[in-house]
Structure 1
């Protein structure tokens, strides 16, 4: 069996990390090393963890590197051939890791596998962040089996089949260290949010596949580090989605899809203004401004994509990218569940 490293980026909040570690040590770990990346926490959570747990490896960053940088930092210190990235506000079932490993074994084309992710506070419902496997439409709007925009389904076993997906959730997934290093890890320009979608888009372009194995189950609190109501979260989601759209397609598709996407961004901004969500509206405006003043980052990312690309955009659109608008499906056609798409 391949060696395994579990990497947990952490910024403040002792209780959620304590609960995560307690559930990990009650599960089947297969000799995995556990690495906690202390992302420059300002509280005493790490001190308390060191006092209570003797096994985790604690490494500290000089500044808060975000999810992307924290995970990359942990990966550099990891000894495992398989890397598991796990949020600090998760808890796991006993066989969660066993099931992920089984899917990876003898399947060299599989880059990553994610578990079924349920809400920690309401374990009969899927979690917002990844549910039972992630997808993306051609305009770079993400959704998942079990969650489209703010509609979250109950888990009634409807998505319990193992399925090829577009992206595995950064809440928790396993990947091969060799592929992670080959593709440059997470893009730290993203800081947090959608870095796992970017990584798995690169995996898809490079000819690898990504799967969800719902026999593996974890529970996610969500918003443990950054609240779902945070305008900064809105900013990161919109900015990073636009950055992926402008970087990961060929030039023609970038222009074609961006025109419609910018129109939808304007509508979304006006909707927030009409709802008196002024901070969120300005967050979307700021995300567009960031894109405008950072063309060098887009150019650099496009060069990286060109080097790793083994599949065309059209191959992915025909195969795994949702070749429709999820916005239109959800808001106009009222298809609020994955099964209805």
Structure 2
């Protein structure tokens, strides 16, 4: 078997019971693993009793998303990895187009399927949609999703094309590339580590692709809700980490400086919107960034490509020009 489906779990018994059946049903030619981050619920017992064909990897503690996968994937030897959130429902024939693309294109290292919303299946889902990009300042957006605007799936992204980043909710990657990059950056813990991984892959000369021939449905927010200030902290901190690690040297100071100004504006928007905990979270993110700046800088690759961004400022186009959809901007 060439592909391993690896699901990271932490106290997700109900999610496993709900979504593992579709993965088992439609992944006949794959080996399925659950990598458990030291759950304190009955996840392991349920897996052993209800899903005896699943291989279990037990991590020694809750390492978060990044290190959790890094620890588990040391034990997985299939040439292609499918890293799948526990709140993903897959569909028939979701794996074959991925394997075919990997076999056909040696320069393609990462692939993302079409991600639709489990709760509103006619629309794209926030995390990934039809493939991700970033602007010059590192703000992520997707075909089918820009900030909070989600497009209806009308077939407008029924294609196979190069993208900049693939969502960690359902990410396919070659084992040899994952190991060459030493996996996810464990200092991220969770959030945006997949964009960092894709950016490092890009700087190595590989491509990330999206294909609509594979379709999955994602619940989203099952682990850490968008209203949680910890999510705000991780997103703001990790975005700065990612920029320091991957930006071209000539643009590094200017973009980091300008990005921090934009972060400050966002923080005060939280404050004036009655969300003081999120305001504080942005401040904590910046302090953590300062503390770890040297460490992040030392992780830079030998070379950084300059053509990493899709547009100069998605913030300007969305909030000032009022362009809400990918199809209206590009």
**TM class, shorter-chain normalised?**
over 0.9
For the Cα contact (< 8 Å) 1:7–1:83, is it kept in 2? yes
Deviation at 1:223, TM superposition (A): 1.1
For the Cα contact (< 8 Å) 1:137–1:326, is it kept in 2? yes
Deviation at 1:156, TM superposition (A): 1.1
Corresponding residue for residue 50 of structure 2: 52
For the Cα contact (< 8 Å) 2:244–2:297, is it kept in 1? no
Moved more, 122-131 or 56-65: 56-65
Deviation at 1:29, TM superposition (A): 3.2
Counterpart of 1:42 in 2: which secondary structure? coil
Corresponding residue for residue 313 of structure 1: 305
Structure 1: distance between partners of 2:281 and 2:155:
37
Matching residue within 30, 33, 39 for 1:41: 39
Deviation at 1:40, TM superposition (A): 1.4
Corresponding residue for residue 326 of structure 1: 314
Counterpart of 1:323 in 2: which secondary structure? coil
Which aligned pairs between 1:181-330 and structure 2 lie closer than 5 A?
Answer: 181-302=179-300, 305-306=301-302, 309=303, 312-314=304-306, 316-317=307-308, 321-330=309-318
Q: Does 1:21 align with 2:13?
A: no
For the Cα contact (< 8 Å) 1:121–1:221, is it kept in 2? yes
Structure 2: distance between partners of 1:76 and 1:28:
22
Structure 2: distance between partners of 1:29 and 1:198:
31
Structure 2: distance between partners of 1:132 and 1:79:
28
RMSD over aligned CA atoms reads 1.2
Structure 2: distance between partners of 1:145 and 1:89:
21
Deviation at 1:252, TM superposition (A): 2.3
Counterpart of 2:121 in 1: which secondary structure? coil
Deviation at 1:300, TM superposition (A): 2.6
Structure 2: distance between partners of 1:296 and 1:10:
32
Deviation at 1:297, TM superposition (A): 2.0
Structure 1: distance between partners of 2:199 and 2:95:
23
Counterpart of 1:192 in 2: which secondary structure? coil
Deviation at 1:224, TM superposition (A): 1.1
- Structure 2 regions of 5+ residues with no counterpart? none
Corresponding residue for residue 173 of structure 1: 171
Deviation at 1:25, TM superposition (A): 1.4
Structure 1: distance between partners of 2:169 and 2:123:
16
Deviation at 1:141, TM superposition (A): 0.6
- Structure 1 regions of 5+ residues with no counterpart? none
Number of residue pairs matched by the alignment: 329
Structure 1: distance between partners of 2:47 and 2:33:
12
Structure 2: distance between partners of 1:201 and 1:95:
28
| TM-score w.r.t. length of structure 2 | 0.97
Deviation at 1:13, TM superposition (A): 2.3
Structure 2: distance between partners of 1:294 and 1:259:
16
Structure 1: distance between partners of 2:63 and 2:96:
30
Structure 1: distance between partners of 2:221 and 2:11:
12
Deviation at 1:237, TM superposition (A): 0.7
Deviation at 1:14, TM superposition (A): 1.1
Structure 2: distance between partners of 1:12 and 1:64:
10
Segments ≥4 residues shifted beyond 3 Å: none
Counterpart of 1:218 in 2: which secondary structure? strand
Counterpart of 1:124 in 2: which secondary structure? strand
